[in-house]
Amino acid sequence: MNVKAIVIDMDGTITNFNLDYMAARRRALEELERLNLRTPEFNEQVNLYVILNKLKTNMDSEAFAKLKATFYSYFEQMETKAAQEVTLFPGANDTLRKIRSQSIKLGLVTNNGRAGTNTTLKRLRLDGLFDSVVTRDDCEEMKPDSAPIRKVLNELQVDSSEAILVGDGVMDIMAAKATGLVSVAVATGPFPSERILRAEPDYFLGSINDVPTLIDQLKSERPS
């Protein structure tokens, strides 16, 4: 495989996962309760993306846009706070720079908003390292939809057959599969390994630091 680009998730993949999503979801559910939009299927275990997708089909576009903005404001507050405290996984900076030294492009795709993402990258001195950064503010859809992955590939000017996606969650694997990328899961996120393996990633690594070895392996493999 001719690896020309690596598309990377952020939280749990290159940075320690420190987002309090449950608190943000509770605020979102309280808002749904206030608007008489909450149903039994909307609970704290349901992802924001799923909730919004279900509401989108049953709401007036203007009302939906307003609710979506409210939800996103909750998450932005959480992400901005987390960005002030988040730490980089040991070795991640060196690993990313090693990948770049091989003339491989780097893309970052996160469901976080632009504000928290920029703060994180600047604090950890990663700003300028990525050739493309796509957040939820840059795309109508979020992972596991393929749209943000397609956007980053377009900005990197590479084909899906020339890139791999590295992430710590099921949504990353689903997004990679939906876009035709090789999916690489890492065990450094908050999710149980069993849950990740059920999503059937193409590769399951210990951490981002194992990616250069995988790249060498993929480059040496002959096309089937």
Question: Inter-axis angle of helices 61-83 and 21-34, to 10 degrees?
Answer: 150
Give the closest residue to 26 by CA, choosing from 42, 39, 41, 50.
Answer: 42
pLDDT at 17 over 60: yes
Q: Give, for 132, the enclosing helix (H) or strand (E).
A: strand 132-134
Domain spanning 5-16+89-220, CATH class: alpha beta
Torsion of CA 37, 139, 47, 207, to 10 degrees: -170
pLDDT in tens, 144-193: 999 999 999 999 999 999 999 999 999 999 999 999 999 999 999 999 99
What's the confidence (pLDDT) of residue 223? 61
Question: Inter-axis angle of helices 21-34 and 48-56, to 10 degrees?
Answer: 30
What's the confidence (pLDDT) of residue 113? 95
pLDDT in tens, 173-186: 999 999 999 999 99
Is 196 exposed, middle or buried, given 0-12, 13-18 or 19+ CB atoms closer than 10 A?
buried
pLDDT in tens, 84-113: 999 999 999 999 999 999 999 999 999 999
pLDDT at 224 over 80: no
CA distance linking residue 133 with residue 113, whole number of Å: 11
**Mean pLDDT over the full length of the chain:** 94
Tokens of 120: 């994180």
Q: Is 0.85 topped by the overall pTM?
A: yes
What's the confidence (pLDDT) of residue 32? 94
pLDDT at 116 over 80: yes
Query: What residue ranges do the domains of the chain occupy?
Result: 5-16+89-220, 21-83
What's the confidence (pLDDT) of residue 21? 82
